[in-house]
Amino acid sequence: MVEYRVGGSLAANDPTYIEREADRTLYRALSQGELCYVLTSRQMGKSSLRLRTRQRLETEGMGRCAAIDLTRIGSQHITPEQWYLGLAFELWRRFGLAQTVNLPVWWQQLGPLPPVQKLSYWMESVLLVAEPDQPLFIFLDEIDGVKGLSFAVEDFFGLVRFCYNQRAENPAYRRLNWALFGVATPRNLVADLQQTPFNIGKAIALAGFSLSEAAPLAAGLLGLADRPDRVLAAVLHWTRGQPFLTQKLCGLIQTAAQNQAIAAGSEARAVERLVRSRLIHHWETQDDPEHLRTIRDRLLVDRLRSGRLLSLHQQLLMQGSLAADGSPEQAELKLSGLAIERDGDLRVANPIYAEIFNHDWVNRCLAQQRPYAVMLQAWVASNFQDDSRLLMGQALQDALHWAAHKSLSDLDYRYLSASQKWDANQVRLELEAKDRANQMLAEAQRRANQIIWFSYLSLGSCLAISLVALLVGLL
Amino acid sequence: MHADEALALLDQLLPGYTFSNLQETVFSQVWEGKTYAEIAESCGYDHSYIRDVGFRLWQSLSESLNQKVSKSNIRAVVERYARHQSLPAAMVSAPEPAAASVLPDWELPNGPVPLTSQLYIERPPIETQTMAALLRPGSLIRLKAPRQMGKTSLLRRLVAHGQGHQMRCVTLSLHRADRQTFADLDRFLRWFCANISYQLGLEADLNRCWNRDIGSKVSCTAYLEDAVLAQVDTPLVIALDEVNELFQYPELASEFLPLLRSWYEEARESEPWSRIRWILAHATEVYAPLQLHQSPFNVGLAIRLPSFTLEQVQELAHRHRLPWAEGHDGAENLLSLLRVVSSRPGLVRLALYALAQGNTSLEQFLEEAPTQSGIYGDHLRELLAALYPHPDLQLALRWVFEAAEPVALEPITAYRLENLGLIDLYKNLATPSCELYRQYFLAFLPLPSSAAYG
């Protein structure tokens, strides 16, 4: 019986391996000597594609291959010297050349050269010499692993680019071919446009399975459904061909239908029931092997960015699609796997994600992130009465800035507008108070003047009276 | 001779004898020449408690081996056995269990269920599923369950199943490594490789492949390829028990787990690596800080071991020959037991063992269970001792046990309590894992001196 594979890469001969457009493009590009890279989200089948392509190149005698998972070389405390030598050492072994040269000794003899230069020198004078006839294909997987190192490896990517450019001058380099795989954007990995290999290489897009591509998967449902192809169509409706979800859902159907085969006409309903009960309902506890939690974490882990990512996703949920603009947020959302780009539009990758990471979910996440969470809670606790819990002045301005372009819950808007009103009211009251104070001041002044005039008058009249009295006395 | 080999030899010599985790730790570290004080320091227990565990360990080993065993002569004794590869004749012909005694004396209910025991209860389809997976080249099986759920018992059965299929087997219990081993990646990988070689009877010449210049991970991979896989041409089972020990060292875990994953993936394209079958047993969720650039550790067949069902408990009671547990009324009786001790296999087994001795009634048992003198006394004291150096854990635990509702704990605290099997976690909310613990710890946890937690 066909067994579906959930998580991890598929062996090259696995019957559930689905060949896609990317298989053909990658193979063609590599055999024509192009520098290829496959940068996409997790669990899209990158490593399986690498395995399959490698096997095809080898069986068709196109050359020798070495595949390296970069997480196996780097670690947090590794030095550049160890990393570059480690890479050379692994390549050396993967090409099966281990016995011919004592690499660490050879490396030491080069003395104090920068390690990237040693690697370059090693490729030219040892690797390409040891294998003088055949093309060599180097597959590097998990290249985003380099971001966890304590030093920048821009030089390394520079070297890959250099090797490619050397082809014009040194024909030996024409035999050296590279394919890079990982979860990253080119800009993430190398900021320097002069060093990046990604603007001269060929990007291989890895899309989900189309219905016709996925057809072989129906073999695992034979005998379990009257119309396996219809079941598969219903699966693809939900997964949009996302490889991990497609395999997982097919596996779930396979188990569930052991007891009762899926009758003609009930395919969509049967599949939907499984999607809802086994994937969407309590997804956080059913997500094993981990897939959805990785997407969630990728959205939420960076506090500074997650607000923007969430609101972008929210816009996708509301509008269905947005024009792809290549912004860093859009790129990150695509890398998380949550969004895909098709025909110039960005949209949520499939209905399963849309149901799990829905409006309510986004609202809850935003709620946890709102800068005024504590104040809001206290305000709600006071039954919306305690005005001292509202925002004012700079705090209000900051909150409004944070809320801009987000679609928040009614409670947020109620709180923010109450705050604005309160703030405006406070300002008005302050003005009025100032007014009143001025009036009082003017009044007081007027009174004071009156008193002064009055006292002048009384003083004058006193003076006049006393003058009269004096005159009367004198007379 | 290495501590793991010594333990393996003792397992072989004394098939009915099982070590608890802590006993294994104490044994291994005494073997390496550590003092009790150092052991206490390295595993976070109180010094006097470790001394006590050690004392009782030598005492029971002395009884089983029929000769005086102590901290100072254990090496000499075991090495002597290793040379002769057998026990004195008197020991080998162990007396047949008399029909009258309900349970043979040797089957003490602590630690994993011995391979030969009648008391292992299968939990279908887990056994068949995992054993089938073990026979597939390049497979990986993850056994996930809190303490006292029978992970190690299943793991040993899987290993035995592998041996039955001509596989060479290695079992590494991570709690046997001392704290220093986890201090850095290089040390840990060396420990890992050396133990694999020891157990396979290969020479552990680490320095031949280990090269500082190429880094520890590359060295380790090269070692496994050249010094292990190239020397062993049969399938190989590498079982790692107590992997959760690793999660306490997040930096190490975030280096080692991806490395393990890459070896597993390598099996897809390399014949030597596909000969390895991995088994990993861990008490808690894989808990390592999120590294966005790494694939999560989510490969292979994941098995979450469930508690016993009532039928399974009844079957176990039947094998303990307990007449009051039979039939419908028996099920009712058992339910009153399970309400206190939960249906965790380890705790149930202890209860049935005690009840099978016939000296105590069910009511009496339930009354005594959460006290120092009950059958769970040692187990509960061990947990208390583990909590002793950590007032923060005590406080959090008290909070969970006193609350009527599930309680949200700070993640690391929650993880450590779950690791000890004291709480159940559901969506980050903690509840007491069983009534037994609740009663005991509310009575014996030191009262908090400062303000309440949270």
pLDDT of the residue at A284:
81
Smallest Cα distance from B278 to chain A, Å: 14
Look-up of token digits 């395999």: A247
* pLDDT tens figures, B294-332: 666 778 888 989 999 999 999 999 999 899 999 999 999
DSSP string, B84-127: HTS--HHHHSPPPPPSSSSS-TT--SSSSPPTT-TTPPP-TTHH
Q: Which residues contact B335 (CB under 8 A, 6 or more apart)?
A: B310
pLDDT of the residue at B151:
93
Q: Does A77 touch chain B (CB under 8 A)?
A: yes
What phi and psi values does residue A264 have, to the nearest 5 degrees? -60, 135
Percent of chain A that is helix, strand, coil (3-state, to 5) = 60, 10, 30
Give dist(CA A307, CA A315) in Å, integer.
12
**Both structure tokens of B332:** 């009712």
CB contact under 8 A, B222 and A93: yes
Tell me if B233 sits within 8 A of B167, measured CB to CB: no
The DSSP letter of residue A3 is -
Give dist(CA A63, CA A218) in Å, integer.
35
Considering only CB atoms, which chain A residues are within 8 Å of B258?
71-72
Range of weakest confidence among A1-5, A431-435, B84-88, B311-315: B84-88
**Both structure tokens of B57:** 């360990």
Beta bridge partners of A222: A225
pLDDT of the residue at A371:
84
Q: Tell which wins on pLDDT, A151 or A66.
A: A66
pLDDT of the residue at A80:
92
pLDDT of the residue at A13:
86
**Both structure tokens of B46:** 């109180």
Q: A21-203 in CATH: which number?
A: 3.40.50.300
- Maximal C-alpha separation, chain B: 70
Q: Tell which wins on pLDDT, B115 or B274.
A: B274
- Give the pLDDT band of residue B266 (cuts 50, 70, 90): very high
**HSE (side-chain half, CA atoms, 13 Å) at B268:** 25
Give the count of beta carbons closer than 10 Å to the beta carbon of residue B129: 13
Region of B235 (left: φ > 0; alpha: ψ -120 to 50; beta: rest) is beta
Enumerate residues 184 to 203 of chain A having a beta carbon within 8 A of any beta carbon in chain B: 184
- Cα distances (angstroms) measured from residue B95 to each of B9, B100, B264, B305: 21, 14, 46, 35
Q: Does A297 touch chain B (CB under 8 A)?
A: yes
**Both structure tokens of A354:** 């849309």
* pLDDT tens figures, A283-330: 887 888 889 988 998 898 887 788 889 989 999 999 999 999 989 899
* pLDDT tens figures, A276-292: 999 998 888 788 888 99
pLDDT of the residue at A354:
97
pLDDT of the residue at B240:
95
Give dist(CA A312, CA A317) in Å, integer.
9
Rg of chain A over all Cα atoms, to the nearest angstrom:
36
The distance of Cα B67 from the centroid of its chain, to the nearest Å, equals 28
**Both structure tokens of B76:** 């000499």
Q: Is the pLDDT of residue B87 over 60?
A: no
Q: What is the mean pLDDT of chain A?
A: 90
- Cα distances (angstroms) measured from residue B324 to each of A214, B101, B312, B330: 58, 17, 16, 5
Q: For residues B122-147, give the mean pLDDT.
A: 93
The distance of Cα B285 from the centroid of its chain, to the nearest Å, equals 16
pLDDT of the residue at B295:
65
Is beta strand A339-342 parallel, antiparallel or unpaired with respect to A345-348? antiparallel
**HSE (side-chain half, CA atoms, 13 Å) at A152:** 9
Q: Is the pLDDT of residue B271 over 70?
A: yes
Task: Compare CB distances from A82 to B215, B255, B261 and report the shortest one's residue.
Answer: B215
**SS3 (DSSP) at A153:** coil
Considering only CB atoms, which chain B residues are within 8 Å of A298?
292
Considering only CB atoms, which chain A residues are within 8 Å of B215?
73, 75, 78, 82-83, 85-86
Give dist(CA B319, CA A257) in Å, integer.
36
Give dist(CA A323, CA A347) in Å, integer.
9
Q: Which alpha helices (DSSP H) does B297-410 contain, by range?
A: 310-319, 327-341, 345-356, 362-368, 377-387, 391-402
Q: Tell which wins on pLDDT, A99 or A428.
A: A428
Smallest Cα distance from B243 to chain A, Å: 18
Tell me if A227 sits within 8 A of A267, measured CB to CB: yes
pLDDT of the residue at A33:
92
Q: Is the pLDDT of residue A475 over 80?
A: no
Tell me if B175 sits within 8 A of B296, measured CB to CB: no
Give dist(CA B409, CA B191) in Å, integer.
34
**Secondary structure element (H or E) that encloses residue A346, with its range:** strand A345-348
pLDDT of the residue at A188:
84
Range of weakest confidence among A370-379, B266-275, B359-368: A370-379
Smallest Cα distance from A144 to chain B, Å: 5
pLDDT of the residue at A215:
95
CB contact under 8 A, A75 and B299: no
Give the count of beta carbons closer than 10 Å to the beta carbon of residue A255: 12
Tell me if A91 sits within 8 A of A159, measured CB to CB: no
Q: Tell which wins on pLDDT, A282 or A358.
A: A358
Q: Does B255 touch chain A (CB under 8 A)?
A: yes
Angle of CA points B412, B417, B423, to nearest 5°: 125
Considering only CB atoms, which chain A residues are within 8 Å of B302?
288-289
Domain layout of chain A by residue ranges: 21-203, 372-447
Q: Is the pLDDT of residue B88 over 50?
A: no
**SS3 (DSSP) at A226:** coil
**Secondary structure element (H or E) that encloses residue A160, with its range:** helix A154-165
Is beta strand B407-408 parallel, antiparallel or unpaired with respect to B276-282? unpaired
**Both structure tokens of A167:** 């082809």
ipTM of the complex in this document: 0.79
Determine what percent of chain A is predicted with pLDDT higher than 90: 54
**SS3 (DSSP) at A67:** strand
Tell me if A231 sits within 8 A of A225, measured CB to CB: yes
Smallest Cα distance from A289 to chain B, Å: 5
pLDDT of the residue at B107:
63
Enumerate residues 70 to 109 of chain B having a beta carbon within 8 A of any beta carbon in chain A: none
**Both structure tokens of B290:** 């999120």
Nearest residue of B to residue A94, measured between CA atoms: B270
Amino acid at site B126: I
* pLDDT tens figures, A91-142: 999 998 766 778 889 999 998 999 999 999 999 999 999 888 899 999 999 9
Rg of chain B over all Cα atoms, to the nearest angstrom:
22
Tell me if B295 sits within 8 A of A47, measured CB to CB: no
Q: Does A126 touch chain B (CB under 8 A)?
A: no
CB pairs under 8 A between A and B: 111
The DSSP letter of residue A148 is G
* pLDDT tens figures, B28-79: 888 888 888 888 877 777 788 888 888 888 888 888 787 888 888 888 888 8
Interior/surface letters A351-390, b for 16+ CB within 10 angstroms, e for the rest? ebbbbbbeeebbbebbeeebebeebbeebeeeeeeeeebb
**Secondary structure element (H or E) that encloses residue B144, with its range:** strand B140-144
Give dist(CA B369, CA B348) in Å, integer.
12
**Both structure tokens of B132:** 């089938």
Q: Tell which wins on pLDDT, A94 or B97.
A: A94
Tell me if A177 sits within 8 A of A201, measured CB to CB: no
CB contact under 8 A, B298 and A183: no
Give dist(CA A3, CA B129) in Å, integer.
14
Nearest residue of B to residue A10, measured between CA atoms: B268
* pLDDT tens figures, A131-188: 888 999 999 999 988 888 888 888 899 999 999 999 888 889 999 999 999 999 888 8
- Give the pLDDT band of residue B291 (cuts 50, 70, 90): low
Which of A53, A57, A72 is best to mutate for the B interface (most B CBs within 10 A)? A72
**SS3 (DSSP) at B133:** helix
**Both structure tokens of B353:** 């063992």
- Give the pLDDT band of residue A195 (cuts 50, 70, 90): confident
Amino acid at site A470: L
Give dist(CA A149, CA A83) in Å, integer.
9
Helix B250-266 and helix B216-223, axial crossing angle in degrees, nearest 10? 40
**Both structure tokens of B308:** 């016993």
Considering only CB atoms, which chain B residues are within 8 Å of A82?
212-215
pLDDT of the residue at B454:
40
Which of A82, A119, A189, A283 is best to mutate for the B interface (most B CBs within 10 A)? A82
CB contact under 8 A, B217 and A86: yes
Q: Is the pLDDT of residue B236 over 50?
A: yes
* pLDDT tens figures, A251-271: 999 999 988 899 999 999 999
Give dist(CA A283, CA A279) in Å, integer.
6
- Give the pLDDT band of residue B16 (cuts 50, 70, 90): low
Give dist(CA A213, CA A216) in Å, integer.
7
The DSSP letter of residue A162 is H
